[in-house]
């Protein structure tokens, strides 16, 4: 869940739950600070989220990892870095019994993802240019030989090889390490909604889903700037998330 809060002159966010909690702990966010997340219909003072018993008490409060509301810590349970309110405790415990991994994901924003894509584009473009040059040279030599039909064959092979490298690059790196070289450079990773590693098959499907995002005037990519979990269209199609490591 991503949070926003009202700073001195403008709203600040999105920030992760961990960052939000640290701002509460160090006093940056107080009971009078306006805050908002995707579960809320409007901005509210942080103290109003905690209920009457928590306002102006001076006691420590935390955000529930399940419902996103604030409560007194003495009325909550803690699991790892997560705090859970009494109302959400049964659901949270059931998830643990079912083996669901409880993780707080720090979703990557649009611009950092854009930067990673630029790096990946440069890498694949350079490799494909080298391939095109090599097979283009062979096609030129073949066209001047006794059997010019070989020129077309070299051109087709070069095109297919470039396509395979582009698809293979995305599939292999994301399936193996959860990130392409561009994403590694930017500290990003592609994961499941639970924060786990995705399979090679899903990584393969995600490549073609990205083509769909491109075909609609790149709107599929721009969606990541407005989604609560920073999902682009291809993330929605393949049920993936891009997070900061």
Share of the chain above pLDDT 70, in %: 84
Backbone angles phi, psi at 238, to 5 degrees: -100, 0
Question: Are 135 and 157 a contacting pair, CB within 8 Å?
Answer: yes
pTM of the model: 0.59
pLDDT digits (tens, 9 = 90+) for 88-138: 888 877 777 776 655 567 889 999 999 999 999 999 999 999 998 888 888
**So where are the chain's domains?**
3-97, 110-244
- Flag whether pLDDT at 229 surpasses 90: no
CB atoms within 10 A of CB 193: 13
User: 69 or 35: which carries more pLDDT confidence?
Assistant: 35
Angle, in degrees to the nearest 10, between helices 110-143 and 149-177: 150
* pLDDT of the residue at 172: 96
Give the span between the Cα atoms of 212 and 223, in whole angstroms.
Answer: 13
Q: What are the backbone angles phi and psi of residue 5, rounded to the nearest 5°?
A: -145, 155
Judge residue 224's burial from the number of C-beta atoms within 10 Å of its C-beta, 0-12 exposed, 13-18 middle, 19 or more buried: buried
Tell me which of 50 and 207 has the higher pLDDT.
Answer: 207
pLDDT over 50 at 25, yes or no: yes
Please give the structure tokens belonging to residue 79: 């699991």
Task: Give pLDDT, residue 121.
Answer: 95
Q: What is the pLDDT of residue 54?
A: 39
Q: Give pLDDT, residue 57.
A: 41
Q: Count the neighbouring beta carbons within 10 Å of the beta carbon of residue 163.
A: 11
Average pLDDT over residues 52-81: 64
* CA gap 172, 18 in Å, rounded: 32
CA distances from 158 to 121, 127, 139, 150, 155 (A): 18, 12, 10, 12, 5
In this predicted model, what pLDDT tens digit does every residue of 46-65 receive, in sequence order? 777 654 433 444 456 676 77
């Amino acid at each position: 869940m991503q949070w926003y809060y009202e700073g001195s002159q403008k709203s600040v966010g999105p920030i992760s739950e961990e960052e939000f909690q640290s701002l509460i702990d160090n006093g940056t966010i107080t009971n009078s600070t306006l805050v908002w997340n995707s579960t809320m219909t409007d901005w509210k003072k942080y103290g109003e989220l905690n209920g009457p018993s928590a306002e102006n008490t001076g006691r420590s409060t935390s955000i529930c990892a399940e419902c996103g509301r604030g409560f007194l810590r003495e009325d909550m349970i803690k699991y790892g870095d997560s705090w859970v309110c009494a109302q959400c405790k049964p659901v949270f415990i059931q998830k643990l019994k079912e083996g669901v991994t409880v993780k707080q994901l720090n979703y990557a924003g649009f611009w950092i993802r854009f930067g990673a894509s630029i790096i990946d584009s440069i890498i694949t473009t350079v490799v494909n240019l080298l391939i095109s040059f090599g097979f283009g040279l062979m096609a030129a030599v073949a066209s001047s030989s006794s059997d010019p039909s070989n020129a077309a064959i070299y051109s087709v092979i070069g095109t297919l090889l470039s396509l395979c490298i582009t698809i293979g690059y995305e599939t292999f790196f994301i399936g193996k390490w959860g990130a392409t070289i561009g994403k590694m450079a930017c500290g990003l990773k592609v994961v499941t909604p639970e924060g786990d590693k995705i399979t090679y098959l899903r990584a393969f499907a995600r490549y073609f889903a990205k083509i769909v995002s491109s075909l609609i005037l790149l709107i599929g990519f721009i969606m990541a700037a407005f989604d609560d979990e920073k999902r682009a269209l291809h993330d929605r199609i393949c049920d993936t998330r891009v997070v900061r490591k």
